[in-house]
Amino acid sequence: MKIQRYDLFKIIKNDFILYTQMHLILLFIIILSASFIIITVYETRLLISQEEELLIQKKKKNDDWRNLIIEKNALSNHSTI
């Protein structure tokens, strides 16, 4: 009866390669998802900033419109007197 011997170094090396690949894949996925989150947050902040600028422009145009209406009414009332 012959005793079967295992090459422990080869087993450890194969396990290390197999599980290291899985860890590297998981690390890559984590870094990739974190990058997408950072990009999404950055783009969202840009869009919010643009929205605020547009709202300020809208308010300014509404104020200008009201002033023009008031001026028009004042001039039309003034010409009828």
Instruction: List, run by run, the mean pLDDT of 10-residue segments along the chain (81 residues).
Output: 84 83 89 98 98 98 96 81 54
- Look up the pTM and report it: 0.60
Q: Which pLDDT score, from 0 to 100, does residue 80 have? A: 58
Q: Which pLDDT score, from 0 to 100, does residue 81 have? A: 54
Q: Which pLDDT score, from 0 to 100, does residue 22 have? A: 82
Q: Scan for tokens 């003034």, then name that residue.
A: 78
Q: Which pLDDT score, from 0 to 100, does residue 20 have? A: 82
Q: Which pLDDT score, from 0 to 100, does residue 13 have? A: 86
